[in-house]
Amino acid sequence: MKQKCFLWIENYLFTPNIFQKIISFLLLPLTALYLLIILLKRLISKEIDYQIPIISVGNIIIGGSGKTPLVINLAKNFKNVCVILRGYKRYSKGLIVISNKGKILESVKVAGDEAFLLATSLSNATVIVSENRHEAIKKAKELECKIIFLDDGFSQYNIKKFNILLRPKEEPKNIFCLPSGGYREPKMAYSFANLELQEGKDFKRVVSYSLNGKYIDILPKKLLLITAISKPKRLLAFLPKSITIEFFEDHHIFTQEEINNIQVKYPNHAMITTSKDIVKLKYFDFNDLYLMNLELVINANVNVKLINDYINKYNS
């Protein structure tokens, strides 16, 4: 039942049917109010310069668009990096240092799945979760970090930063902002980006598969995808057509009961999951748990020099 509910909401936000379009139009007055609040927030915000290069990687649609893989791709090229994010759906509150110069200090439940993935993927970086990005920036400076990446920081209008906005390969068919559609800001917000990257044009996703840390070329015929990411159907493009899927809400923390039920329901299936999910699933007992290794590769035509120039301004 939950899966059907998540799927209905996803379709409503991005590819609505006629009934969902009617609901979307009925909610337009609330959307207008939402847009007014965003406009006022942007107008009254004054940028604070923290005297440290801050690079924000964000998007203006709900759900995943490759923010975390891009942060990993960029941050691994620099020293003394700190990645700051909210830590959505974590079992903790407040400011917490998840890793310090590569040393992991907290569990996935305390960190949240994205923060823990960043901490395990960036062996020399510092990762901080905090609802208050300003306090997190101050903490990063206290820890002597020299460059900060904000994962999903575009809406932090009062922080002076270099804004990278990711654009999906195909725009949602529902063009409205919340609650009438899947946009968090109107499409004109792309004009505020210092660097706009569109999937398929400026970057691509490269997927490989592994089992117990060893890369493989052929996946089992009976395969079940277990995932708790936004828009899980996008993964199907990288998997066999015969695959079965069990998906949960974005950032869901799996329970032993859920895993037991899945294993009973699919006794002869091998399991496959994503990097974001495996940081939570690896603690359960699976005979075979395959991993989709998703890397984001920036095309050669992208002017990444803009990022380096921005960083060098603070170091000169």
| Domains along the chain with CATH numbers | 42-202+299-315 (3.40.50), 204-297 (3.40.50)
> Would you state the pLDDT for residue 162?
98
As a whole number of angstroms, the distance between CA 299 and CA 296 comes to 10
pTM higher than the cut 0.75: yes
Residues 6 or more apart whose CB falls under 8 angstroms from that of 298 comprise 70, 73, 197, 202, 203, 304
As a whole number of angstroms, the distance between CA 35 and CA 137 comes to 28
> Would you state the pLDDT for residue 2?
74
**Using an 8 Å Cβ cutoff, are 224 and 271 in contact?**
yes
Residues 6 or more apart whose CB falls under 8 angstroms from that of 113 comprise 89, 228, 251, 276, 277, 279, 280
- Structure tokens, 232: 């899980």
SS (H, E, C) 143-188: CCCCEEEEECCCCCCCECCEEEEEECCCCCCCCCECCCCCECCCHH
> Would you state the pLDDT for residue 294?
86
Per-residue pLDDT of the chain (316 residues; tens, 9 = 90+): 677 888 898 899 999 999 999 999 999 999 999 999 999 999 999 999 999 999 999 999 987 788 999 999 999 999 999 999 999 889 999 999 999 999 999 999 999 999 999 999 999 999 999 999 999 999 999 999 999 999 999 999 999 999 999 999 888 899 999 999 999 999 999 999 999 999 999 999 899 999 988 999 999 999 999 999 988 888 998 999 989 999 998 889 899 999 999 999 999 999 999 999 999 998 898 888 999 998 889 999 899 999 999 999 987 6
As a whole number of angstroms, the distance between CA 129 and CA 136 comes to 7
- Structure tokens, 238: 């990288």
As a whole number of angstroms, the distance between CA 86 and CA 132 comes to 8
Going by the DSSP 8-state scheme, the letter that residue 10 receives in this structure is H
User: What is the dihedral angle through the alpha carbons of 235, 241, 243, 244, rounded to the nearest 10 degrees?
Assistant: 90
